[in-house]
Amino acid sequence: MKRFGNSIRRFVQMAVLPVTCTLSSPFISADTYIVGAQNIEYYPYYNFSSDHEKGLAWAILEAFSKQSGHRFVYLSMPVKRLQIELKKGNVDFVFPDNARWYDQITHSLNKVYSEPLAETFAVTLVKTDNLGKGITHITKLATPDGFSPVKWEQQIKNGTVKVTGVNSIYDGLNLLQSDNVDALDVEYNAAKNVARRFPQMGPFAADLTLPHNVVSFSLSTLRHPEIIAELNTFILSESESINKIKAKYGIEDTKQLIERLMEEQHVSADTRWTPL
C-alpha cells in the first residue's frame, strides 16, 4: 500500500489485516484500496458512517470485491474533504462523484469515473397539500449540504428563491414540516427512507411540476484507472446480480417511478416540469 496522511494511515493500519488472495478471475492482482465517502446518511444509496448496513453502493462494491479479490476500506468524511484527500493521495477513490459536478480542486486533473453505481432521482419535495401550486409558490428551498440545487439555478440567480443548507435530510424535512421552507431539494428514495422512520412528519410528495432530474453516482479516482476499468466490466457483465441488489434495497426503476408518480398526480407530459 502507498503512503497515507497520518490519521488515515493509522486508521488503515488498525482496520486492514494482511490478505492473501488466489484469483481465478480475469482481474489483475488484488490489493487494498481506500474509498473516501460522504459522511451523509443517504440510505438506501449509502450510509458509510454505519457500523452495519452501508447501503446499495457499498453492497455493489463488496460484490465486486468478492469477485476481484480487491479489498475496500471505507472512510466517511466531510464532503469538503473528499476531493482534497483524493488529490493528496490519502484516499484512492471518492464516492459519490459525477463527471458533471464541478469542483475547483480536481476539475483540471485526469479524474476517471466508473459506470454509475446508482441512478438517483432528485426531486422537489413539498407538503402534499401544496402539490401542483407551481414554481412561483416556492420562495424558500432547503437542500442537504454537499449537494447543489442546479435545477433551481435560474430562480436562485434572479433572487426569487432563497436556499438554506441543512446537515441532514431529517433537518430538511423538519424545516418543511414547520413551514420554514416551501420545498426540499432531495433524492426521492433517500427522503422516503427518512420520512418512513418519522411518521409524525408529513405527508410529503415529490411534485413533478417542479424541478427534478436523474443523477448518477459513480466512483472516481486519480491514480487507479485500471481498477475503474475492472469495476466497469463487473457492472456491465453482472447487471442481473446488481438488479437483485437494487431490489433488496427497494429501489424502484426510475422510469417506472416517474410514470407512477405522473399517474398519481395526474400530471401529463405537457404539465410535467422540463428544464428551459
CA angle in degrees (0–180, nearest 5) for 117-122-125: 145
pLDDT, tens digit, 9 for 90 and up, residues 216-245:
999 999 999 999 999 999 999 999 999 999
pLDDT of residue 105: 83
CATH code of the domain occupying 6-117+217-252: 3.40.190.10
Provide mean pLDDT across the span 181-208.
95
Percent of the chain with pLDDT over 90: 75
Q: Identify the residue with better confidence: 185 or 100.
A: 185
pLDDT, tens digit, 9 for 90 and up, residues 134-183:
999 999 999 988 788 889 999 999 999 999 999 899 999 999 999 999 99
Residues facing 129 on adjacent strands: none
Provide mean pLDDT across the span 72-76.
95
Helical (H) or strand (E) element with 260: helix 254-265
pLDDT of residue 8: 54
Helical (H) or strand (E) element with 11: helix 6-15
Q: Identify the residue with better confidence: 9 or 193.
A: 193
Q: Identify the residue with better confidence: 146 or 276.
A: 146
pLDDT of residue 40: 85
Domain spans, the chain: 6-117+217-252, 119-214+255-265
pLDDT, tens digit, 9 for 90 and up, residues 5-45:
555 544 454 444 333 333 334 444 468 999 999 988 899 99
pLDDT of residue 80: 85
pLDDT band with cut points at 50, 70 and 90 for residue 275: confident
Same CATH topology for 6-117+217-252 and 119-214+255-265: the answer is yes
Q: Are the CB atoms for 169 and 178 separated by under 8 Å?
A: no
Provide mean pLDDT across the span 79-103.
91
**CATH class of the structural domain 119-214+255-265:** alpha beta
**Cα(3)–Cα(89) distance, rounded to whole angstroms?**
8
**pLDDT at residue 3 greater than cutoff 50:** no
C-alpha cell at 222: 486519480
Q: Which residues, at least 6 apart from 160, have a Cβ–Cβ distance to it below 8 Å?
A: 136, 139
Q: What is the mean pLDDT of the chain?
A: 88
**Cα(163)–Cα(179) distance, rounded to whole angstroms?**
14
